[in-house]
Chains A and B, each alone.
Chain A
Amino acid sequence: MKARHLVWIRRISQTFFLGLFLILLVESRLSEDVYLDYSLYFSGDADIRLDQPVTFFFDLDPLVWLSSLLSGHGLVHGFGWALAVVVLTLFLGRVFCGFICPLGTIHHAVSWIRPALKGGSMVRANQKTPAQRIKYFLLIAVLVSAVMGLNLAGLIDPIALLFRSLALAVVPAVGVAIKGVFDAMAASDMKILNYLSYGGEALVSPVFGYGYPAYKTAWFIGLVFLAIVFLNRIRPRFWCRVLCPLGALLGICSRFSVLKLEKDHEKCTDCKLCSKTCQGAASPEPGQDWEKAECLLCFNCFHACPEGALSFRFRWSPKINRRPDMGRRAVLTGIGAGISIPLLTGLDSQAYHVSDPRLIRPPGALPEKDFLRLCQRCGLCMKVCPTNAINPTLAEAGMAGFWTPHLIMTQGYCEYTCTLCGSVCPTGAITEISAREKIDRPIRIGSAYVDRGRCLPWSGNGPCIVCQELCPTSPKAIYLKKEAVSGAGKTTWLVDVPRVDLKRCVGCGICETKCPVKGKPAIRVIAAGESRSIENQILLPDLVP
C-alpha cells in the first residue's frame, strides 16, 4: 500500500472515532424524545435506559479494563473490546494511539494545524528524550496502586480524561454562555427574539443539556484539559509521548508486533524529513534505532520520505522489537509511588471509616472501599444525571476519591425512580439497579434532618411543608404534626411542622433541593444511613420488617 493511502486511511479513521466519541458523549443524556409506551408501566417495571452504547470507548480501553481487573478482581463487562485492542496491538503496535484514540486525535490535530516549531527546531523536538519515560512511571504507579486497592487510572486515562473534560467543563461552559444569550433574548419585548430564543434553546438542548448543567470543580477539570492541549506547543503530541499511561501500556504490548519499520540506509540522504514529521519521537531516521514502543503508527515518516528509504512491512521473523525504554528509575519510582499513594490516601481515614457527611454516593454505588477500586472518575454518571445532582468531589471523599461522583442536593436531587447512573457506569462502581429494587430494598443514599432554626414553621415564620409535599416515599418519610409555635410579637401559631421518619427516608434530597430556604436549606441530607455501608448507620436495624 502506498504511504499516501495509509496516511489518508489514518485521517479518516481518526475523524471517524473522534466523531463517534463526540456523538456518544452528546448521547449520554436523558433524551427529550419521551415517547415511551405507557402501557409498559401498567404491566411492570420498565426503566428508562439510554439507546446508544455510551460506554463503548471505555469498553475499548485496555487500561480501564486492566486497572479494574487488578484492583477489583472482577472483569469489566464488555471487556472483549479491550482485549481486541490488546491483540491488535500485539500484531500491529500502537494502532489505537494513531488511529482510534480521540484524545490523541485532538492532540494530533492541534499540533498539525498550527505547528509551534519549524525546520531544524522541529527535528530536534522530535528526538527521543528521557522525559518519555514518565509515562511508564505513571503506568506502573497506577497499576501498582490498583493492586493495592486504589484505582487512580481514570485520573490520567485518556478516555476518562477526555470524557470528563468535555462533558463536565468544555460543553457546560459553552452551554452556560449560550444560555446567557437566550435569557437576554427571552426577556426582550420583541416577539421575534422570544421565538428565536425558544427555538434556539430547543435546538441546542440535546447538545448542551436540558437545563444547562454545571459541575463543581469544573473550572479545574477544564484548566487541566487546556494545559494538556497547550503542551502541544512544546512538542507535538506531548501528552501521547510523555504522559499517557495507556500509550505506555500499549507500547509495552507492541514489543512483539510484526508490523515493522524497514530502513534502507543506502537510499537515505539524511534530509531528516521523517524526524520532522514523527508524532511519537520514535527515531524513524535510518541510523537510529527505531523505538517501536514510541511509534504511534501515524505513517508520517513513510509518507514524508522523498527517497523511499522507509517502509512498513510485516515481518514474521523471530527477531523481536527493541525493548521499551522505560529506565530502571521510572520503574522503581513507579512501584514506590504505587505503594505509597494508597498508603498515604488511606491516612485521611475518610475512605475507610465513617465518611464525610456530604459524601452522598449515587444510588447503587458499591461500599466505599470497593467503589474506589472501580470508579474511573470519568464523569459519565454526572453527565447522565437528569437533575445535575451528581458532581465530582473535591475533598469530600479524601484525596483517594478526588473527582469521584457525589450528590449535591442544593444543585439537584436523586429522582425516586431514576436509575440511569448505574446503567451507564463503565466499570460497575455504581451497580445497575431497577427502579423497583431502588424502592423495595430500599436503596438509601443518606438521611434527611430538619434544621429547626431555619425551617419556616418551626421558627414561627409561617406555614410551608414543601418538603412533606415532595417526599416521594409512600408512606411519606416526612410527616406533619400540628404544633403551637410562637411567632414574632405575641402571636402563637398552630402550624404543621415537618419531622423526618428515618426508617422511611431514602435520602433522595428533593426536600433539600426544593426547600424555600436557599443556600443552606432548612432540611438537609447527610450520608449517614446509606444502605451501602454497614458502619455508617444511625438506627438499629429492624428485625421484623
Chain B
Amino acid sequence: MDWKHPITRRQSLKTLARMSAGITGVAIGGYSFLSPGRAKAETKDGKFLVEGVATKKDYETKELIKTVFEAAGGMGRFVSRGDVVVIKPNVSWARSPELAATTNPEVIEALIELCLDAGAKKVRIADHTIHDARRCFALTGVGQVAKKTGADLVFPRPSLMKQMKLHGQRLDVWPVFVPLVEADKVLNVPVAKDHGLSTLTLGMKNWIGAVGGRRSALHQDIHQTIVDLAQFFKPTLTLIDATRIMTKNGPSGGSPADVAVKNTVILSNDQVAADAKACGLFGYAPEEIGFVRLGQKWGLGTYDPQKLTQQKVLL
C-alpha cells in the first residue's frame, strides 16, 4: 500500500478488515490499534467468571467490587499502566439509581477507582442514552461519579457517531459511538433487567447503547443484532451489576415494586458467560435467552462450565 497518499475510509476499512481477520481484538475504523493485553485476556484458556454476593446486611458496594476483582487476580491483570479505559454503563433512562433502570453509580465509582489504582491514564464513561443524556447523567448519579473520580463523561454528540463496518450477520455498516472503540480497554458495566422483547437485558444487549443511527430498527431481529454488536465491541471485561435487578416492566421500570435486591455482581472476560450466569438470577436457563444462545453458537463465548474457571465469592 502507498502510505504517502491519504486513504479513503472505504480503503482503510477494507485494509483493516483484512488485517484483523482471524485476530481477536479487532482494530476498528482505522483509528484504534491492537492491544496485546486485550488479546491475551481473551485467550481460550484464560476464561473465568467470578460471582460476588454480599450476604452482610450493611455492606459497602466498593468492598464487594474489590473482593470480586481480587478473586479474578486483581485489576492489574486487565488494566495496565498508562491505559485509556472506557466504561460503558447502562444509563439509558433518566431514573434514580434505586429504580434499577440504570447501573448502580456506586459500582461504577468502585470500578473507576480500581482502574485508576491500576495506573490507568484516563477513564472515560460513555453511553448513548435513550432519554436526554444530560438528564440521564444527572439523575442516575453517573455525572457525580465522574466529578468525584475525575473520569471524563462523554456526551453522545453527533460528531462522535461514525459509520463503521461491523462485519455482522445482520448489521454491516452502522454508526458507532466512537469513544467506545477508541480506548485501550473497554469495560462493560450493564445492569441486569427485564426486557419486553429480548426477555432480559444484560451485558451483550448493552451494546445497543454504543451505536447511533436508527436504533429502533434493531428490534426487528433483536437477538442477532445484539450478537453482531457484541462481536464488534468485544469488551475486556463484563461486570454485570445485579446489586438491584429489575424483574418486571423492563427495561424502563419506574417503580420500586419492579426491583429485587440481589447484592450480586458478575465479573467475566467472556460476555456470553457473564450473561448466562445472570440469567439464573431471573430464573432462566441460558438457552432460553436468544442472544445468549446465539452468542455461544457464533463463538463469542461460552456458558459451558467445562471451559470456564468459575468462582463464587461471598462478602
Contact = CB atoms under 8 A, between A and B. Distances in A.
Interface residues of B, number: 58
A465 B219 contact: yes
A464 interface: yes
A55 interface: no
A474 B216 contact: no
Contacts of B141: 36, 38, 41
Contacts of B7: 189
B141 to A, nearest CB: 3
Contacts of A473: 254
A176 to B, nearest CB: 12
B173 interface: no
B196 interface: yes
Interface in A406-420: 415-418
B94 A418 contact: yes
Contacts of B216: 464, 466, 514-516
Interface string B250-273: 011111011000000000000000
A36 B138 CA distance: 6
B249 A42 contact: no
Contacts of A194: 159, 162, 178
A316 interface: no
A87 interface: no
B67 interface: no
A42 B98 contact: yes
A201 B157 contact: yes
Given A38-B97, A189-B6, A201-B157, A465 B196 contact: yes
Contacts of A189: 6-9, 12, 30
A34 B97 contact: no
Interface in A296-355: none
A524 interface: no
Given A415-B135, A474-B258, A476-B249, A463 B196 contact: no
A182 B159 contact: yes
Interface in B121-149: 130-135, 137-141, 143-147
A474 B132 contact: no
A466 B225 CA distance: 15
A467 to B, nearest CB: 9
B23 interface: no
Contacts of A179: 158
A41 B94 CA distance: 11
B91 to A, nearest CB: 11
B220 A464 contact: yes
Contacts of A474: 249, 252-255, 257-258
Contact of A36 (B12, B131, B143, B222): B143
* Consensus secondary structure, chain A interface: loop
B282 interface: no
B242 interface: no
Interface in A452-479: 456, 462-466, 468-476
A233 B276 CA distance: 73
Contact of A475 (B96, B146, B219, B249): B249
Contacts of A191: 31
A35 B143 contact: yes
Nearest to B222: A463
A42 B220 contact: no
Contacts of A469: 195-197, 219, 251-252
Contacts of A182: 158-159
A186 interface: yes
Given A210-B134, A463-B219, A496-B196, A198 B97 contact: no
Q: Which of B12, B97, B162, B254 has the most CB of A within 10 A?
A: B254
Interface string A1-41: 00000000000000000000000000000111111111001
B116 interface: no
A465 B250 CA distance: 12
A516 B96 CA distance: 28
| A34, A38, A42, A462, most chain B CB atoms within 10 A | A34
Contact of A38 (B105, B153, B221): B105
B281 interface: no
B62 to A, nearest CB: 15
Contacts of A198: 157, 159-160
A197 B220 contact: no
A48 B158 contact: no
Nearest to B138: A34
27 contacts: A33-B143, A34-B134, A34-B137, A36-B139, A36-B144, A37-B144, A38-B96, A186-B158, A186-B160, A186-B162, A189-B8, A191-B31, A200-B159, A201-B157, A202-B157, A210-B132, A415-B132, A417-B94, A417-B139, A418-B94, A456-B220, A463-B197, A465-B196, A471-B252, A472-B93, A474-B257, A475-B248
Interface of A: 30-38, 41-42, 48, 179, 182-183, 185-187, 189-191, 194, 197-198, 200-202, 205, 210, 386-387, 415-418, 439, 456, 462-466, 468-476, 480, 496, 514-516
Interface of B: 6-9, 12, 30-31, 93-98, 105, 130-135, 137-141, 143-147, 153, 155, 157-162, 178, 195-197, 214, 216-217, 219-222, 248-249, 251-255, 257-258
Given A31-B134, A179-B158, A417-B135, 11 more contacts: A35-B143, A35-B146, A36-B144, A42-B96, A182-B158, A198-B157, A198-B159, A202-B155, A463-B219, A464-B220, A468-B197
